[in-house]
Chains A and B, each alone.
Chain A
Amino acid sequence: MTALDAVSVYTPAFRVPLENLAEPLGLTDIQVRLFRRFHGLDEIRFDPDRSLADLLHAAAAGIDGLRGQEDRVRYVIHGRAMPVVVPYPRNPLHEVCRQLGLAHALTFTVTQQSCASGLLAVDLAGRLLDGDGDPDALALVFTGEKAFTRDARLLPGTSIFGEGAAACLVSTDGPRDRLLAYACDQQGGFDAEFGESFDRFQREYRPSLAAVMRRAVAEARLGFDDIALVLPHNVNIVTWQRLCHLIDYPVDRVVLANVPVNGHLFCVDAFANHRTALEQGLLREGDHYLVAAVGAGAGATYSAMVFRH
Chain B
Amino acid sequence: MNLIRAGRRDFPAPAGFLIDDDRRNEVAEYFADLTRPYNTAAGTELSGQSYGEMAKALIATVVPADEPVDLLVLAFSIHDMWPGRATATFLSHLCPGTPLSFALCDQGSAAPFTALRLIREHRPRRALLLAVEQAMLPYDSPAVLPKEHRGVALLCGNDDSAGSRIAGLAQHPDVAAPDVPALAAQALTELSAGHDDVRLVLGETLADAWPGAAEHTRAAAGQPMTGVWWQLADTLAESAGLVVIGDYDRDLRYLCLAAIQAR
Contact = CB atoms under 8 A, between A and B. Distances in A.
Interface of A: 51, 78, 82-91, 93-94, 103-114, 117, 120, 124, 127-128, 130-131, 148-152, 184, 186-189, 191-194, 295, 297-301
Contacts of B23: 192
Interface in B29-57: 29-30, 33-35, 37-38, 40, 52
Contact of A110 (B40, B92, B102, B252): B102
B139 A87 contact: yes
B143 interface: yes
Contacts of B114: 106, 108
Contact of B84 (A84, A86, A89): A84
Given A88-B143, A117-B102, A191-B85, 16 more contacts: A83-B83, A87-B141, A88-B141, A93-B106, A106-B173, A108-B105, A110-B103, A113-B101, A127-B122, A131-B117, A131-B120, A186-B92, A186-B100, A192-B85, A295-B86, A301-B89
Nearest to B252: A94
Q: Which of B37, B92, B104, B118 has the most CB of A within 10 A?
A: B92
Interface residues on B, range: 35 or more
Nearest to B174: A103
B52 A193 contact: yes
B197 to A, nearest CB: 29
B91 A188 contact: yes
B121 interface: yes
Contacts of A110: 102-104
Contacts of A106: 110, 114, 171, 173, 254
B89 A295 contact: yes
9 contacts: A89-B78, A89-B251, A91-B106, A104-B174, A112-B89, A114-B86, A131-B121, A188-B93, A298-B85
A78 B105 CA distance: 10
Q: Is the interface of A mostly helix, strand, loop or mixed?
A: mixed
Nearest to A188: B93
Contacts of A152: 84
B151 to A, nearest CB: 16
B107 A191 contact: no
Contacts of B107: 107-109
Nearest to B98: A186
A127 B105 CA distance: 18
B90 A109 contact: no
B105 A109 contact: yes
Q: Which of B40, B92, B102 has the most CB of A within 10 A?
A: B102
B12 interface: no
A118 B22 CA distance: 30
Contacts of A131: 117, 120-121
